[in-house]
Amino acid sequence: MRKFISIALSAVMLISAGAISAMPVMAASVSSPGSSEVTTKPASETEPVIITVNSDKSSKVSYTKETAKYTFKYSGKGEVIRWEFPNMTEGVDYNVLSTSDNNDKIVIELTESGKQKQVVANAVVKDSTASKDDAEIDDDSKDDSNTSPATGAAMAGIAMAGTGVAMLAISKKKKD
């Protein structure tokens, strides 16, 4: 009987350790607060504009919006070679209204099809070391909605450990 209890207790402890590490994986996908799964509004009205420098988030690029007209401006080090709008096609989804002489500023206007898409603007900067210094990851924009809170995993571990303690108590009662 002692061997059975010992083996069962070891198995419970192994399952407990596995359950604690597997809990975040089993977390349900949850929408961010304030977002809606079903929407009839165009993407440009419900999702933010994403602006990057050499595909990295940066505080050195900004934009202004006036109805369907967007102005993007780069204020960091290095030379802007071009602007990219990865999920849109020029002449179909947007038209370039103007570009500054040194390419640090561009003004575009979305067409009807462009208004249905999320605006993603990327400044391609020539000096890669300067652009890496300018690129600052925005930690506030990180989405943690799909991660499990630590309390759920801890509670599961406590419950499993409690089961092991209960089995140990039962084995001691049987001895007496």
The yes-or-no verdict on residue 18 having pLDDT over 70 is no
pLDDT in tens, 112-134: 999 999 999 999 999 855 444 44
Say what the pLDDT of residue 82 is.
Answer: 94
Task: Average the pLDDT over 74-91 and give the result.
Answer: 93
| % the chain with pLDDT above 70 | 52
Say what the pLDDT of residue 73 is.
Answer: 95
Say what the pLDDT of residue 173 is.
Answer: 67
Say what the pLDDT of residue 135 is.
Answer: 46
Measured torsion, CA atoms of residues 79, 82, 85, 86, in degrees rounded to the nearest 10? -90
Strand order through the sheet with 69-74: 61-66, 69-74, 105-110, 94-99
CB neighbour list of residue 153: distance below 8 Å, 6 or more residues apart: 19, 20, 21, 23, 24
Listed ranges 56-60, 151-155, 159-163; the one with the highest mean pLDDT: 56-60
Q: Residue 36 — very low, low, confident or very high, per pLDDT cuts 50/70/90?
A: very low
Q: How far apart are CA 100 and CA 91, in angstroms?
A: 19
Which residue, among 100, 57, 56, has the nearest Cα to 80 in the 3D structure? 100
Strand order through the sheet with 50-53: 56-57, 50-53, 120-125, 80-84
pLDDT in tens, 53-64: 999 988 999 999
5 vs 128, residue with greater confidence: 5
53 vs 174, residue with greater confidence: 53
Task: Average the pLDDT over 71-99 and give the result.
Answer: 94
Task: Average the pLDDT over 9-18 and give the result.
Answer: 70
Residue 167 structure tokens: 């089995």
The count of C-alpha atoms lying within 13 angstroms of the C-alpha of 43, restricted to the half-sphere facing its C-beta, is: 14
Q: List alpha helices for 23-103, DSSP H.
A: 43-46
pLDDT in tens, 86-112: 999 999 999 999 999 999 999 999 999
